[in-house]
Structure formats: structure tokens, C-alpha cells
Amino acid sequence: MNLNTITQSSADDFLKALPSEFAHALISDIPYGIGMDDWDVLHANTNSALLGTSPAQQRAGAVFKKRGKPLNGWSNADRNIPQEYYKWCRSWGDDALRILKPGASVIIFAGRRLSHRCICAFEDIGFTLKDTLGWVRPRAPYRAQRMSAVFDRRKNRALSEKWRGWRLGNLCPVFEPILWFVKPYAIGTTIVDNVIKHGIGGFNEHGLLRYFSNTNNLFEVNFAPDEKKIHPTQKPLVLMQALIELTTAPNQIVIDPFCGSGTTALAAQNTGRNFMVSDNCSEFVALARERIGSDLFKLASGKILP
């Protein structure tokens, strides 16, 4: 098994194949479980309207192409989605704990609606929640539907006027939570002892300040002008580089079992870290490999460090 590789695999299989206590960090933008696309449907119950497959949605066109379930759900079974997300996080989280060195960080983008379930799952697995960080982007799509427009379509002028100024949906989503966990170090030792033994446990303030002007736990950053967005949930490269430098040292190993377009791998490569990443989608794996660069990718690969 080589370092600096991008493989196609489920998160479960990818993590199970890795040795115990060899990685220094796991940094990943995991599926949010809100039905954004096929790969984001993590619950068992479905409906013809999910992901825009009902006849009415097909007639409506692209506007409803990726519609998820409403918060209230379509059935009583939909109320189980948060619990199912918790179980899904636990399904691969146990191996995440096993492969990481004591004191290692886990940085996870988990979404606003179900991040608390991820926190509970990882705490129950054995991780410690260190902090909740935040990515703030300067703009985001605001898709809250006007209630008056709904009543206008129903030709109910009175209710349209009564509810003018009200909307259905959410506020503009410019904030995304970033969960920062750590694997506990040995009882009876100190964090400094852990740094001496495993090379991790503190955080790199100088590394963070290479990207931001302060050490706040809110990161206000957007995509670079020339940064091509090739994945629907892609994160800015500079943000991923900052998180990698915050939690690891050069030549250490960063893992990402949900690599998407390969931003974590590229960020690790740019900051002098080793990486092992994987995704279940062949299309995204191909894009990630292309993004890394075929010649550079071959030159970068090497054997797992001791």
C-alpha cells in the first residue's frame, strides 16, 4: 500500500485496509445526509419526489432536479433520518479511530442540520470534540420561496397580501460548521508527552497565520478566481491547506475517505504532507487524479512511512 494515492472505494473498505495508528489526521468533507445527490442519500426510506424523480418534478425541469426531502418529511419514516445519519457516521468512524495516532485531529465538514448527530456518533466512538469551527463564505444561493408567490399561484389574493414578506425555507447559508475532534492520548501522560512520542497534539499557529490574519475559529474565505469548481460541495483549496497546516507537520499523513474532487489531496501535496484519499464515485476519482496531475502524481507516490 502506497502513500499519495487516490483510490476508488467505499469509506468502510478504504479505512479497514489501513494499518492501526499510522495516520496523523483525517480531514474530510463528508456527505451531509440531506439528499443533495445520490451519494448524499444515506437513509433507507425513499419517495418518488426525492432527487427530482417524480413526473411533476421532471416536467418542472432543472429547478427541482436535486430536491431533497422537506424538513417535515413525506412520511413518519422520514423522521428517522437523523438517527440513520448517526448510525452511518458510526459505521466508518470506528476504523477512523483505529487508524489514527493518539492525539491526531479529525476535521469534518458535516453540515448544519445533522452535524450534532455526527458529534454524538464520534463522541460515542471515543473521540473528543475539541472545537466547532466555521467556514464563512461571502455569498451563497438564497432559495427561500416567497409565501405570497405560492398564494398567487393559488389565486388567493387575500392570503398573498397577508403573508407578503414571509418565505419558506432557510436563511442564506453563508456559514458551514467544521467539527474538530481529537483522538485521546494515553491516560497518565500529558499532551506534550504525546507530541514527543507521536508528533501531534498541538496546533500550528504560525501555519494558520500564513492564510489568515488572526487565530479566530471563523474562517472567512472564498474560492480563488482561477479555482475551477468541479464538485457540487467542493471547498476552497486555501481553506483545506490552512486546516492541514493547523493540525499536522510536514511529511505527516493525512487521510480523506470522502475525497470528492481531491481538494484534500491537493492541499496536502501543496503543503508538503503525504495523503491517502478515496471516494466511492469513479467519476470523482478520475477528476481528482486529473486535478493532481498524472506526472506529478506518479512522482509523489511512495511507501508508507514507519
Q: What local confidence, expressed as pLDDT, does residue 276 receive? A: 96
Predicted pLDDT of residue 170: 87
In this prediction, residue 47 has a pLDDT band, given cuts at 50, 70 and 90, of low
Q: Report if residue 74 sits inside a domain.
A: no
Q: Which residue, among 288, 228, 230, 298, has the nearest Cα to 264 in the 3D structure?
A: 288
pLDDT of residue 72: 64
**What integer is the mean pLDDT of 30-50?**
64
Does a structural domain hold residue 60? no
- Whether the CB-CB separation of 245 and 24 falls below 8 Å is answered with no
Give me the percent of the chain exceeding a pLDDT of 70. 82
Confidence of residue 302 (pLDDT cuts 50, 70, 90): very low
Report if residue 102 sits inside a domain.
Answer: yes
Identify whether 72 is part of a domain. Answer: no
Domains in the chain, number: 1
Residue owning grid cell 493540525: 247
Whether residue 295 has pLDDT greater than 50: no
CA distance 16 to 54: 38
* Per-residue three-class SS string for 61-89: CHHHCCCCCCCCCCCHHHHHHHHHHHHHH
What's residue 299's pLDDT?
Answer: 37
- For residue 258, give its domain range: 2-29+92-139+174-303
The reply to whether 291 falls in a domain is: yes
pLDDT per residue as tens digits for the range 116-171: 999 999 999 999 999 999 999 888 888 888 999 999 999 999 999 999 999 998 89
In this prediction, residue 45 has a pLDDT band, given cuts at 50, 70 and 90, of: low
Asked, for residue 152, whether it belongs to a domain, the answer is no
pLDDT averaged over every residue in the chain: 86
**CA 51 – CA 97 distance, rounded (Å):** 33
Q: Give a yes or no: residue 70 inside a domain.
A: no
- The pTM assigned to this predicted structure is 0.86
Q: Is the pLDDT of residue 107 over 60?
A: yes
**CATH for 257:** 3.40.50.150
Answer yes or no: is 24 within a domain.
Answer: yes
